[in-house]
A and B are shown apart, each in its own frame.
Chain A
């Protein structure tokens, strides 16, 4: 049993993967550097769902992901994992429940790819042969087999990003939080990322990932969180939304929309939030987003 007595009971009562993961966001408000980012966000995220976090630069995507990881104290509202406030979870127990993949890494010291993955261990992590099997499977899933003995500091940005994703998956937690996991990835590796995240959700996991590519977000997600951000869209008065007056208040500051992807990712709303015209197109029977050029702002 674990040594720290206060957490031992909960650790037994709620073993990761033994109960359906559930993350409740209740009236969440976040601020960064004294600047409010979002306010009044409520949503319930459940096992098997894949959530994408969308929004323009500075809208608070990374801050939201870090808050869901328990790394930031919200300005207001409560986050509950398994009905228990996130702030009450002992860090060592929480490490078995959620993994966090930051948007950028610095590697000051030499470290091989396989060492970087193998060292991701915590109180609940599988050890020995199970860890070796999982490591091999992840190296294969993210096309890292040939790089296993390379130094992470000598990889390309996209290769380094795949190592970061693999490290988050190596933690083997139901809740998987990824900050811009598709950055630097080429087309084939984005599809590998999508497949890995789908597999994670299919075995009862919950994925939350911030993204910038609408097509990837659509194909990857079951649900979406769209953040307006405090600044509003660049040159928002100039945008003539496609598809009618479905902007539903996107001109207001810090709007957030949460729900199934079909309800949230409407072209009119995306046009408003991103400040560029967005239209829906169908290519080979698949839904795609066409993004047009910005209109110059009228004087």
Chain B
């Protein structure tokens, strides 16, 4: 499918249609058998919140991926790379270890906020030390790589924290903790915080899409076009941190979506943040809902972690896209 041939509005409409179809399928599928729409309790108490949470989570991760890839000028950036999801994992596991199990989202949120604050503070220091050449533009420098490396370091620290917590965990709690790490929509407490975070992150980043595009082509060059580079960088980083933190807090560390969805959309011809940010949200949401629908029904009544399915679908699709792209 070449979305490049279509206008951005057409591409977005196509993706919105696909997302609606995925939502319908997600509502229809489940361990109680396909369909089951007659049972209002299952539909509205069990499936609808889960589908909504899955959609919001996927949308958040893909949106964060699209933002971070542009911000670091690196198509291999991913929400997990900047360490925010690592912080959320540490927070959630600490909560699972030391506190009652049903408040795990609070622990994840706190962990994500901690890692994001650390990253923002360090990134601020890096950019503030750079020269301040243009009135109104703020410090300019190719800080993308530095921010990326800071994120990787925070992530590495968090990974050690996760190992420590797993080593400390008693047998009885270990299984729940490991499943949480795999990425799981099974025990989703509430879907609306993720939806709220999606609205906030989009509202923060989407209006600046044109300027973010210019920055992705070169920060100093964007500054000569009048873009307040340092402020835009902070805003985009904040939006990505909100999105990642909320996604991980809702459904655990679902890997892969943030890296692959924006990349696949670009290979399919969606370009420019104005189209890519909403398209990533729609496609990422649809992707996770579909993966979760299969995870729930394929081995019913056993439910697989959605992270397993997202990788099982995503890896071959992505490799195929890459091979096709390099042949062009």
With known contacts A71-B224, A91-B228, A120-B225, A111–B217 Cβ distance under 8 A: yes
Tell me the residues in window 32-58 of chain B with beta carbons closer than 8 Å to chain A beta carbons.
none
B213 at the interface (CB under 8 A from A): yes
Contact A109/B226 with A70-B134, A71-B133 known, Cβ cut-off 8 Å: no
Inter-chain CA distance A98–B271, complex, in Å, is 28
A93 to B136, CA, bound (A): 10
Q: Is A156 an interface residue (CB 8 A)?
A: no
- A residues 58-74 near B (Cβ < 8 Å) are 66, 69-73
Residues of A within 8 A of B213 (CB): 119
Contact of A71 among B135, B136, B220 (CB under 8 A): B220
Is the Cβ of B218 less than 8 Å from the Cβ of A72?
no
B70 to chain A, nearest CB (A): 8
One of A66, A92, A107 near B226 (C-beta < 8 A): A92
Task: Say if the beta carbon of A186 comes within 8 Å of chain B.
Answer: no
Q: Are A123 and B133 interface neighbours, CB within 8 A?
A: no
Nearest A residue (CB) for B214? A119
**Closest residue on chain B to residue A71 by CB atoms:** B133
Find out whether the CB atom of B136 lies under 8 angstroms from the CB atom of A108.
Answer: no
Beyond A102-B221, A119-B210, A119-B214, is A110–B131 a contact (Cβ under 8 Å)?
no
- Residues from chain B with a CB closer than 8 A to the CB of A99 are 224
- Kindly list chain A residues whose C-beta atoms are within 8 Å of the C-beta of B75: 108-109
Check A110–B266 contact: CB distance below 8 A.
yes
Asked whether B216 is an interface residue with its Cβ less than 8 Å from the other chain, the reply is yes
The reply to whether B217 and A4 contact each other, CB–CB distance below 8 Å, is no
| Interface contact A98-B224, CB-CB below 8 Å | yes
0/1 string, A40-73, CB within 8 A of B gives 1 = 0000000000000000000000000010011111
Expressed in whole angstroms, the minimum distance between the Cβ of A240 and any Cβ of chain B is: 42
Could you say which residues of chain A place their CB within 8 Å of the CB of B132? 73
Judging by beta carbons under 8 Å apart, are B136 and A122 in contact?
no
Interface residues of A in 97-114 (CB under 8 A from B): 98-100, 102, 105-111
Taking the complex as formed, is A210 at the interface, i.e. its CB lies under 8 A from any CB of chain B?
no
Query: Are A109 and B134 within 8 A (Cβ)?
Result: no
User: Which chain A positions have C-beta within 8 A of B226?
Assistant: 90-95, 122-123
Indicate which residue in A4, A105, A115 contacts B218 across the interface (CB closer than 8 Å).
A105
Q: Indicate whether B140 reaches chain A with its CB closer than 8 angstroms.
A: yes
Give min CB distance, A15 to chain B, whole Å: 15
Q: By the criterion CB–CB under 8 Å, are B135 and A89 in contact?
A: yes
Shortest beta-carbon distance from B234 to chain A in Å: 16
Does A88 interact with chain B (Cβ within 8 Å)?
yes
Within 8 A of B (CB), among A118-145: 119-123
Evaluate whether A4 and B136 lie within 8 angstroms (CB atoms) in the complex, with A71-B220, A98-B224, A123-B226 already known.
yes
B73 contact set on A, CB distance < 8 A: 106, 108
**Minimum C-beta distance from B184 to chain A (A):** 33
- Cβ A95 vs Cβ B224 within 8 A: yes
* Chain A CB within 8 A of B10 CB: no
- Convert B119-137 into 0s and 1s, putting 1 for each residue whose CB lies closer than 8 angstroms to a CB of A: 0000000000001111111
Q: Which residue of B lies closest to A90 (CB)?
A: B136
- The listed residue (B69, B136, B217, B221) touching A7 by CB distance below 8 A is B136
Is B96 part of the binding interface, using a Cβ–Cβ cutoff of 8 Å?
no
Q: How far is the CB of B138 from chain A (nearest CB, A)?
A: 9
Task: List, in ascending order, chain B residues with CB within 8 A of A106's CB.
Answer: 73, 218
A291 contacts the other chain (CB 8 A): no
Q: Is the interface of A mostly helix, strand, loop or mixed?
A: loop
Of the residues A94, A119, A123, contact of B134 by C-beta under 8 Å: A94
Query: Does B223 belong to the interface (CB within 8 Å)?
Result: yes
Answer whether A102 and B220 are a contact pair too, CB < 8 Å, given A7-B136, A91-B137, A123-B226: yes
Which residue in chain A gives the minimum CB-CB distance to B131? A73
Given contacts A106-B73, A110-B271, contact A92 B136 (CB under 8 A): yes
* A182 → B minimal CB distance (Å): 19
Binary A-proximity of B218-251 (CB < 8 A = 1, otherwise 0):
1011011111100000000000000000000000
Asked if A87 is an interface residue, CB under 8 A from chain B, the answer is yes
Q: Which of A88, A91, A100, A106 has the most CB of B within 10 A?
A: A91
Report yes or no: B224 in contact with A69, Cβ–Cβ below 8 A.
yes
| B140 surroundings in chain A (CB, below 8 A) | 71
| Nearest CB of B to A86, in Å | 9
Q: Mark A239-279, 1 if CB is under 8 A from B, else 0.
A: 00000000000000000000000000000000000000000
A107-B217, A108-B73, A119-B213 are contacts. A95–B131 as well, Cβ < 8 Å? no
Residue from B213, B225, B271 with most neighbouring chain A CB atoms (10 Å): B225
- From B69, B225, B228, B272, A122 is in contact (CB under 8 Å) with B225
Q: Do B225 and A109 have beta carbons less than 8 Å apart?
A: no
Residues on B facing A (Cβ under 8 Å): 69-70, 73-75, 131-137, 140, 210, 213-214, 216-218, 220-221, 223-228, 266, 271-272
Cross-chain pairs A/B with CB under 8 angstroms, 22 sampled: A4-B136, A7-B136, A71-B223, A73-B131, A88-B135, A89-B134, A89-B135, A90-B135, A91-B136, A91-B226, A93-B226, A95-B224, A95-B225, A100-B224, A102-B221, A108-B73, A108-B75, A109-B75, A110-B266, A110-B271, A119-B272, A122-B226
User: 10 tightest A-B contacts by CB?
Assistant: A95-B226, A92-B226, A91-B137, A91-B134, A91-B136, A100-B224, A90-B136, A108-B73, A91-B226, A71-B133
Given contacts A109-B266, A110-B266, A111-B217, 15 further A-B contacts (CB under 8 A): A66-B220, A88-B135, A91-B226, A91-B227, A91-B228, A93-B226, A94-B134, A94-B226, A100-B221, A106-B218, A108-B216, A109-B216, A119-B213, A119-B214, A123-B226
